[in-house]
Amino acid sequence: MTLTITNIKRVGSDKTESVTIENGLIKGWNLPAEGQTIDGQGGTLAPALIELHAHLREPGQTEKEDLASGLAAAAAGGYGTVVCMPNTRPVIDDPALVRSLIEKADGLGFARLKPAAAVTRGEKGEHLTEMSYLKDAGAVMFTDDGLTNENARVLRLGMEYARSLNMVISVHAEDDALRAGGVMNEGAVSEELGLPGNPAAAAAARVARDMEIVALTGARLHVQHLSTARELDIVRDAKRRGLPVTCEVCPHHLDLTDESLRTFDAMYKVAPPLRTRQDADYLLEGLLDGSVDCIATDHAPHTRAEKERDLLEAPSGIAYIEIAFPIMWTRFGERLGLEKLLDLMTAGPARVMGWPLPSLEAGSPADVVVLDLDTEREVNPAEFRSKAKFTPWQGQMLKGWPLLTVVNGRVAYRREP
């Protein structure tokens, strides 16, 4: 299949060009148009985004999301590759399940799926999974995300096993006993509202423990969704020590704060919780100075009925994978710059995983996105491909919307003019 995208600009250039894609690869730039031709509407062509942390809920919770809706939403958000978390029902801890998810996703024609598999069977924190067989089946990461790894010895053994396979282990770093039943950040706002708080120390204490396990094992560890300044300081120290540690930050921990919980709206309930503006600003500095390796969304869809429960009962999670780039570009594009932001959402995740870096050069895989960096559009959740058609950003005006996403040379998403 041959596809030519015309009327586009490369990142860092104002020159209008065209790119030709053939057999899943970039054939070249400014060649005579061949095959299907798509007008890029003056947008900016970039490598497709890479998501290392999304909950697609299949199998077992498809009333919240499934592969078709989740991967379609990802493609609409400009993502070409999505790593899905294993806290499904059943847990993704069986090689046959990994293979079946990949096979199903390949047939959908949206974003590419790369499953993460559990560290422990059933994510129960007791017995390790057969990591070697899971890797052979296509798992790209190991994590018990959704649950915290409370037993340090089991995590140590899992990290040693993963190291032998040259694989990354990813952790949701919160101390379960310290976070207890906290539904929001512990601080002035939680005290004023009379809501049980989740202290920053719950995250920092667990990150500090896990850094010592990295030092003990030499295994690669990726820390999910940093939410506090203290966590970032601990990760910075680990990196100065030469430990093989990476970390991510989510847009919601940058753009939203615990002040949002004054509404008592469970839409703002996430784990780890929204922290203070001081924490959010500190994490942004971590993006700027390179301490934070990448941006991930922790896309976590739930049903509207679940999120309409009170704060004590509602599940944690926000679903917004299709507006993640517009949020980041609108709110932080001026500070970060386009090339830095794209690096955090493309090459950054690839470096974490040890994958080839995305490129727009001839011969590179044809995973690309065309972005409209200038036009503001209102966020309308009714248009979401995700089943979670509600969002904290409803009605806000954002720019940076994907116009076209191509995955493996195929059109995975196209916004109608």
CA dihedral 140, 141, 146, 148 (to 10 degrees): 170
The runs of H, that is alpha helices, within 256-346 are 277-289, 304-307, 324-336, 338-345
Dist CA 243 CA 77 (whole Å):
33
Dist CA 223 CA 373 (whole Å):
30
Half-sphere exposure of 121 (CA within 13 A, CB side): 5
Interior angle at CA 74, CA 36 and CA 169, nearest 5: 125
pLDDT tops 80 at residue 222: yes
**What pLDDT score was predicted for residue 327?**
98
Nearest-CA neighbor of 332 among 367, 280, 409? 280
Q: Tokens standing for 139?
A: 């798992």
48-357 — its CATH code?
Answer: 3.20.20.140
Give tens-digit pLDDT for 183-206: 999 999 999 999 999 999 999 999
Report which secondary-structure segment, H or E, holds 96.
helix 95-106
**What pLDDT score was predicted for residue 196?**
98
Instruction: Judge residue 14's burial from the number of C-beta atoms within 10 Å of its C-beta, 0-12 exposed, 13-18 middle, 19 or more buried.
Output: exposed
What residues are labeled active site? 298
Interior angle at CA 395, CA 394 and CA 399, nearest 5: 95
Nearest-CA neighbor of 139 among 121, 156, 119, 125? 119
Q: Exposure pattern of 134-155 as b/e (b: 16+ CB <10 Å)? A: bbebbbbbbbbbbbbbeeeebb
Give tens-digit pLDDT for 382-412: 999 999 999 999 999 999 999 999 999 999 9
3-state helix, strand, coil in the chain (%, to 5): 35, 20, 40
- Which residue bears the tokens 């926000």? 318
Q: How far is CA 318 from CA 33, 71, 268, 271, 399, in A?
A: 42, 16, 7, 10, 20
Give tens-digit pLDDT for 37-84: 999 999 999 999 999 999 999 999 999 999 999 999 999 999 999 999
Over residues 275-289, mean pLDDT: 98
**What pLDDT score was predicted for residue 110?**
98
pLDDT tops 90 at residue 146: no
pLDDT tops 80 at residue 132: yes
Q: How far is CA 204 from CA 172, 211, 312, in A?
A: 11, 11, 23
Q: Tokens standing for 180?
A: 């207890």
- Which residue bears the tokens 């609108």? 330
Q: What's the mean pLDDT when you consider all of the chain?
A: 97
Would you say the C-alpha torsion 319, 347, 225, 149 has a positive or negative sign? positive
**What pLDDT score was predicted for residue 335?**
98
Q: Which of 95-99, 128-132, 143-147 has the lowest mean pLDDT?
A: 143-147
Q: What is the CA radius of gyration of the chain?
A: 21
Cβ 171 vs Cβ 210: under 8 Å:
yes
Residue type, 27: K
Give tens-digit pLDDT for 154-180: 999 999 999 999 999 999 999 999 999
pLDDT tops 80 at residue 417: no
Query: pTM for this structure?
Result: 0.98
pLDDT confidence bin for 416, thresholds 50/70/90: confident
Dist CA 98 CA 409 (whole Å):
24
Dist CA 335 CA 2 (whole Å):
38
Cβ 390 vs Cβ 307: under 8 Å:
yes
**What pLDDT score was predicted for residue 172?**
97
Nearest-CA neighbor of 146 among 71, 225, 231? 225
Give tens-digit pLDDT for 149-159: 999 999 999 99
**What pLDDT score was predicted for residue 12?**
87
pLDDT confidence bin for 272, thresholds 50/70/90: very high
Beta-strand pair 2-10/16-22: antiparallel
